[in-house]
Structure 1
Amino acid sequence: MREVSKGSPKGEFYGAQLSLYCGQSADCVNEGIDIPHYTPPTVSLRPAPDPSKVSRIALRHGFSSPLAPSILAVRGFEPESEALERFLNPTLATLPDPFRMLGFRGALEEFLRYAQSKRPIFLMGDYDCDGITSVLQVHHFSLSLGIKTVPIFPVRSVHGFGMHKEIIAQALAKHGPGLIITFDYGIKNNREIEYAKSLGFKVVVFDHHYVGESRCNADYVVCPGQSGCGFEDNILCSSGLAYLFVSALRERLNAGHKVDMGRYLELSALGTIADMVPLLGTNRAIVKGGLEHMSSTSWPVFSEILRIQRGAPVWASDVAFGLQPHINAVGRLGDVNQVAMGLLTSDMLTALEVSEKLDTFNLERQSLERSCANDVLRDLGRASALPDVIVRSGTGFHPGVVGIVCSRLVELYRRPALLFAEKDGVLTGSGRSIPGFNLIEALCGCSDLFLKFGGHPAAVGATLVKDNLPQLQKALSAAFCMERSLGKVALPAIEVDLSLSLQDITPEGVLELYRLDPFGVGNPPPVVRISGLCVERKDRFGTFRDHTSFVLTDGSSRINGVQWHWERGGVRVGDRVTAVGTPVVSRFSGQVELDIEVLTVE
């Protein structure tokens, strides 16, 4: 469900659509600010499904409404196929053998050697959900078996992304040399790794970011994207790798009777959803299993934030727009080290205190995003035309929120965006891309402009001097135009699965759509087109009154429509419209009702 802050008129959460590619939960606002250079997205309608296939899917898999079977049919699933069976019923029993992964066996053996000799083991993770949940899985598992590990996270405002010599030196001074295991970074930290080795540390890297031609000089590297690996088509994030690592340790140590793997499945599902990796194959099995466990979660902090009745289903959108932004907000604005262990508490009072801290960070994050987004919109409004790649910087931008604002800009304008916070002539920022434009490769093509950079095709982080920003704008625009001229990239269209009437949207049918969950990258939420509607009412809601709600009617039935963030389309009460969006179930104060999350209005 989409995040709405505590105390807002609609409650803490509301039904939500996961972005198709790179969107993350963000509550930006533009109330009172026009959206410059906005053009409605192109809408593409899939061919109508074969009625015979729809009926056979419904019969074989127990659907009572044709809605979900129709979605499956138009997306190419055959009624009797194993692919459809695996999609609807993913199982952890089919998880791949992690020992096929390059470096995995050596990493596990190194961990066990240090554990058995009781030498220090440092778990160093990134400050986002993927890094945090990776470290917490291995740390909690180790504690349950009496193995001491030391979790350490960088502070974004002090250290930035990746390994840092200061953190390594502090670990040495406090604990002596030992084994460093990094999660969600390290693949590009050869200088820091060499420094650690010179002090007597061994280094293992668990990462999933872009490797390129360079070779990481850690003792063992577990990264599916490295040359000679290609494990699971390189779709796992670090949290998924950590789950496989803990599973292998459990089996190796014969610790099945001591360890509840469901707890770690929840953490891995959170990290996987948050990191926007494809929710297919192994990732789908991990997330599906984790969400099932989360309905009766073992982590009280999760329960406090989600506020969903125990035993009720938890959907990917609940995590993406509830848990994830609260936890990520700490890494964006504060020090993860101060709250990370609190996420593992079993004490309800402590869990309440931790959740309140997270909510405070999240409210601040929303406010900073709002300011940054509005500044960017004003700046774009002063330009004569919208650039092919949006590149902007500002002294008032907070480096912890620019990535989310980039996601909102990509969602709004359907083109890549990079934003940088400026301080003392140095720019630190993030970028997000669209399908077909490999952003990390584009940055590699102008690598001489950066002090440092990293990431993957859809998202990057970078640091450069301010004077290089105009050259970066030119280089990225040229790369984008080249890719577009070659037919490799086009501005994304909204792909509509079905054209329906309002009468086709029933509670039973929409609830059955959640059997297709988790939705996200690789499995976008269903999108329908409903014509013949009239706007009966229109309101704003949310902490900053940045979201728009509608009551839509066809004359005999009604449905609530919701448009998140910037209002698009200029709809007025009394207008006749066609709504394009995702049917969802919203849960508020124990009540269940149907909404359509409006992507565009025709």
Structure 2
Amino acid sequence: MQKIWNLKQPADMNEVKHLSAALNVDMAIANLLVQRGIKTYQDARSFFRPRLSDLHDPFLMKDMDKAVKRLVEAIQSDEKVLVYGDYDVDGTTSVALMYSFLQNKLTNVDYYIPDRYMEGYGISKQGIEYAAKNNYSLVVVLDCGIKAIDKIAQAKEMGVEFIICDHHNPGDEIPGAVAVLDPKQPGCNYPYKELSGCGVGFKFVQAFCRDQGIPEDVIYELLDLVVVSIASDIVPLTGENRVLAYYGLRKLNSNPSIGLKTLIKYAGMQGEIRVNDIVFRIGPRLNASGRIEHGKKSVAILMAQDEEEAEALGSEINSYNEIRKTLDQNITQEALEMIQQNDGWEKLNSTVLYNRDWHKGVVGIVASRLTEHYYRPTIILTESNGMATGSARSVGEFDLYEAVGACADLLESYGGHMYAAGMSMKIENVPEFRRRFEEIVTESVKKVKLVPTIDIDAKVSLSDLNPKFLRVLNQFEPFGPHNMMPVFLTEDVMDYGTSRLVGKGSEHIKLDLIEANRSSSVFSAIAFSQSQHFEMIKQSLPFDICYSVTENEYRGKVYMQLNVRDMRSRLSESNDNA
């Protein structure tokens, strides 16, 4: 599928020149910084050299004083406290962080992860009943709860109090908990709104330490958990998240917890661990536990105290991940075949598939796979507890949550945001839901193009990519939403004559490139899953590439490599897009 290349407008030239001189960096680097809102030396210092002292005062968060006071009371009275969290990576890291901190301060503390299939997302009726039956007077809930109005009221009637630590958008009403910590709730003046669920839990622990005169160095040891949550939950890597992720990565690379060290080993990771490694290799293993068996196994390995325990759990979790991958591959293939067997599928603007036998734990992953394949809003449904239940994924700027909400009369429940959602409905409603959702998407296509777009930060020459440029570029890390790895455009490149197809199915291209009519230097590049361009490359004619600059290690030697996102012939009419 042809992609649109969107070349960003250069930043204000006066600001770029000023910053370039102040930092003694290339104009291209200064342009990237100004595009990211970094315009002064002080801005750049905070960006390149994050400090833990840059973290905001946790007591700026609404209800923080109430939360700390209630926790202090629970500790002083030796109450039974339950730490409750969601079954995904953000939830399990949150629970591991809070439980690890509290286990030496309370005689009676335990944790609870709801069963993905029997209880579903958020605070469950079963969870409340468990707390009441076992005499837990206080529940600290993390990464969920902000919309649990009725559940919190029910818990209060049963004598169970809640402190909510969440980061999702609230509804019209805030639950009547003892304290609600959520920077997105109305009336909260906390300066940074984009914390992960684990990040909110960290701020709660930080506030408790300040109140009780405990050195904060103690909780900085938990930052490897925080960065795993930040990366896996795909929250913006700006502001406070950038500080937490920066120091979390330091901890993860130098002295990770026993459990994370074990997961790193099973993921086969060597060298420096970056955000992408967490997203694609650590996070999926932690998620696999909740998808295939139970999320409590993920909490258990994150809190493992010895290598033998961690090894046993790591082996088990890794086996769940292998099962998850097999299910993912098989169901994705079945879904693709189902689409192609449907007459007129190529004219549709959306995909809604239902199969009662698909595994509920991987339908979200399959939805993501299909959006990548066909680039259209996708919903994958299966049967669970007599209902059609599933996950949805969006593309581009299409507001998925709004579209699903327009079909609310056909749904039993739904939730999510612009790019991802979950829902359940009566099985007999699936055909009408499919029809109406397609109608809504088709109408929206007039406003939002369902064509993949590559945002390009700047046009550069290959000769600009010198060691100093790469050294400064590396300091832009950690990369993530709102601070993505820069993408560059270089025009008029040519095959040096040694480019070749690689991979088991010859689906990738290993490139050796030179700039036409410029430097004779040869640049190494890789273009994953772009074998369709190979004939164009071998014609010995100039073409354009958009790419990111990365470092690759081979036989102990580190060298620069271009990760090509897309390429096109200089003769292509689509050049007008840039």
Fold match by TM threshold 0.5: yes
Listed one character per residue, the Cα deviations across residues 515-538 of structure 1 (whole Å, up to 9, x for unaligned) are 111211111211123442437211
2:295 aligned residue: 336
Counterparts in 2 of 1:101 and 1:51: CA distance versus 1, 3 Å: closer
CA contact (8 A) 1:269 1:290 kept: yes
Code of the aligned partner of 1:208: H
Code of the aligned partner of 1:305: L
CA contact (8 A) 2:523 2:562 kept: no
Is 1:559 matched up with 2:519? no
Shift of residue 567 of structure 1? 5.2
CA contact (8 A) 1:403 1:432 kept: yes
CA contact (8 A) 1:125 1:152 kept: yes
Is 1:124 matched up with 2:84? yes
2:240 aligned residue: 282
CA contact (8 A) 2:371 2:377 kept: yes
1:256 aligned residue: 215
Is 1:422 matched up with 2:383? yes
Shift of residue 83 of structure 1? 3.1
Deviates more, 1:567-576 or 1:293-302: 567-576
2:367 aligned residue: 406
Listed one character per residue, the Cα deviations across residues 415-445 of structure 1 (whole Å, up to 9, x for unaligned) are 4322222347522212223454333333333
2:351 aligned residue: 390
Listed one character per residue, the Cα deviations across residues 61-100 of structure 1 (whole Å, up to 9, x for unaligned) are 465x66644532555543x354333322333322223333
5 Å-filtered alignment, 1:417-566, equals 417-423=378-384, 425-434=386-395, 436-481=397-442, 485=446, 487=447, 491=451, 493-506=453-466, 508-531=468-491, 532-534=493-495, 536-540=499-503, 548-554=508-514, 557-563=522-528
5 Å-filtered alignment, 1:299-314, equals 299-306=257-264, 313-314=272-273
CA contact (8 A) 1:239 1:268 kept: yes
Listed one character per residue, the Cα deviations across residues 130-162 of structure 1 (whole Å, up to 9, x for unaligned) are 111111111111124456421111121332212
* TM-score normalised according to structure 2 size: 0.85
1:84 aligned residue: 44
2:123 aligned residue: 163
Deviates more, 1:348-357 or 1:330-339: 348-357
Give the count of matched residue pairs: 554
Listed one character per residue, the Cα deviations across residues 276-315 of structure 1 (whole Å, up to 9, x for unaligned) are 1111112122112211222212413323333599996532
Give the structure with higher Rg (CA).
2
CA contact (8 A) 1:210 1:455 kept: no
1:574 aligned residue: 538
Code of the aligned partner of 1:437: F
CA contact (8 A) 2:36 2:483 kept: no
Counterparts in 2 of 1:412 and 1:568: CA distance versus 1, 3 Å: farther
SS across alignment from 1:522? coil
2:551 aligned residue: 585
Deviates more, 1:508-517 or 1:589-598: 589-598
SS across alignment from 1:156? coil
Code of the aligned partner of 2:5: V
- What CA distance in whole angstroms lies between the structure 2 residues aligned with 1:237 and 1:228? 19
Code of the aligned partner of 1:164: S
Code of the aligned partner of 1:288: Y
* TM-score normalised according to structure 1 size: 0.82
Higher relative contact order (CA 8 A, sep 6+): 1
SS across alignment from 1:138? helix
Counterparts in 2 of 1:227 and 1:396: CA distance versus 1, 3 Å: same
Counterparts in 2 of 1:216 and 1:475: CA distance versus 1, 3 Å: farther
Counterparts in 2 of 1:254 and 1:76: CA distance versus 1, 3 Å: closer
SS across alignment from 1:518? coil
SS across alignment from 1:422? strand
- What CA distance in whole angstroms lies between the structure 2 residues aligned with 1:511 and 1:389? 43
Shift of residue 455 of structure 1? 2.1
Is 1:599 matched up with 2:559? no
CA contact (8 A) 2:170 2:184 kept: yes
When the two chains are superposed, the root-mean-square deviation of aligned CA atoms in Å is 3.2
Match of 1:93 among 45, 53, 60: 53
CA contact (8 A) 2:501 2:531 kept: no
Shift of residue 241 of structure 1? 0.3
Counterparts in 2 of 1:338 and 1:250: CA distance versus 1, 3 Å: same
